[in-house]
Amino acid sequence: MAASSAPRRGSEQRPVALRFTAWMRRLGSALARPLFALLLAIVAGGIVIIITTPGSPGDRLNAVFAAYASLVQGSIGDPQSLSFTLVRVGPLILTGLSVALAFRAGLFNIGAEGQLAVGATTAGIIAFKMPFLPSIILIPFMLIASMIAGAIWGGIVGLLKAWRGAHEVVTTIMLNWIAFYFTDYLIDGPFKAPNEADQTPPLPPKATIPTLVQFYNQTFGGFLPKIANPLSYPADMTIFLALLALVVYWFITTRTTLGYEIRVIGQNQKAAKYAGIPIKRNIVLVMAISGAFSGLAGAIHLMGQFPYQLIATTFSIDPTGFDAIGVALLGRTTAIGVLISAFLFGGLRQGGTFMQINANIPGDLVYIIQALVLFSIAAEFLPSIQRAWARWSGRSRRPALVPAIMGATVVPLPENGLADNGQNGQTGESAEQGADATLISGEEE
């Protein structure tokens, strides 16, 4: 019995090891392009600093190191900087998932910012109209309503795409501006704060979400040391909602029939139609789910961050929805990739101000780095380099044509191929030997 069970355990462990190795190989392949794009952008940004900074070559090189050191210090250098970075990361994760899901279906959701605006405004209206609800009911109601509003706004794009063939890039951009002006009208009109301009009153306290430090001080602070100056750490509890959304996105795209149908539609709509996949329904559903992610992003930013109020014209200048395009592209539409990309973009945005103050480098360098990252991914520099390297290394390692079998001879093929074997039988036999030798040497390569 022992002898028969030992091989069984080995056979069970071996596939696990092979699966882990294959998973690590896929992970490395997935991260190769984003990391190369980031490295290329950092190098190009350093060249920009060297060119534009006055002084000696040593001073210019020191400016590069000082700029990137300040960028890292301002984003994750201490708990306070990390907390400010997390404030940006949460909405970036949700809007990045919104764009990534549409990308998987072959759609370009440029309307994440408009869906975010609609979701945030809907959550604010519910808080203003229903302040009598208890917090345990009001907060989930606001979050769900923001998702529904974003889903409706995104679903309009899906309907126009599925039944009228309207291009989603055009419709999402147009709906963005409709959302901006419509929310500004509501903020400046029916819900404007008395004696205030271009803003609503703050949300009722029961409609807000506490920060991480406040939650810690109120719960664990009873028996553990409390954190001083909680207002210096603005990251709020909604970051966990963003992480939960990552899990939901991963489950939808990798463990459901809908996720499989989305991938097929994104890769080949003709094949999807031939397989009986309902393309129009899935297009509408994808855009609705994408809008729900973005709508939730607007709600969590409103409910979790001071001053807890809607301000006119802020949505049209907020870069979150447009940075989400870069987050989805850099993350290659995967859950873990979106998470890492959101941290990168959030850190760049947060660290840019610190870099400008401490290293005297314009914060526009952050935009240059982001643009170069996207440019590198769109141009597919790394795949092109890999293909060129494979061709060059293949030629350099190609062995000379040698006999593969003892006693065999290599005879060049006649110009008219193997067909010339009627007049001279020996020529056909020599050509046959040459063909065999060529095939053998090709297998060895």
In 3-state terms, what secondary structure has residue 311? strand
Beta-strand runs (E) in 240-370: none
Burial of 129: CB neighbours in 10 Å, binned 0-12, 13-18, 19+ = exposed
Q: Tell me the residue type at 183.
A: T
What are 29-42's pLDDT values in tens digits? 667 777 888 888 88
What pLDDT does 12 receive?
47
- Looking from the CA of 104 toward its CB, the CA atoms found within 13 Å total 29
Give residue 429's pLDDT: 45
- Residue 190 pLDDT: 93
Residue 143 and residue 133: Cα distance in Å, rounded? 14
Domain boundaries in the chain? 53-361, 402-444
CA–CA distance, 198 with 239 (Å, rounded to integer): 28
Region of 62 please: left (phi>0), alpha (psi -120 to 50) or beta. alpha
CA 51-56-60 angle, 5° bins: 45
- In terms of DSSP H, where are the helices of 334-424? 335-358, 364-379, 381-396
- So what's the pLDDT on residue 353? 86
- Which residues of the chain carry a pLDDT beneath 70? 1-14, 23, 27-30, 379-383, 386, 395-445
What is d(CA 277, CA 270) in angstroms, rounded to the nearest whole number? 10
pLDDT tens, residue by residue, 20-68: 777 677 766 667 777 888 888 888 899 999 998 888 989 999 999 999 9
Rounded Cα distance, 51 and 60, in Å: 8
CB 331 within 8 A of CB 99: no
Q: 53-361 in CATH: which number?
A: 1.10.3470
| Alpha-carbon span 400 to 406, nearest angstrom | 16
Give the helix ranges, DSSP H, for 135-225: 135-164, 168-188, 212-219
Q: Give the CB-side neighbour count of residue 96, counting CA atoms within 13 A.
A: 33
Q: What is the pTM of this model?
A: 0.82
Instruction: Report pLDDT for 362.
Output: 86
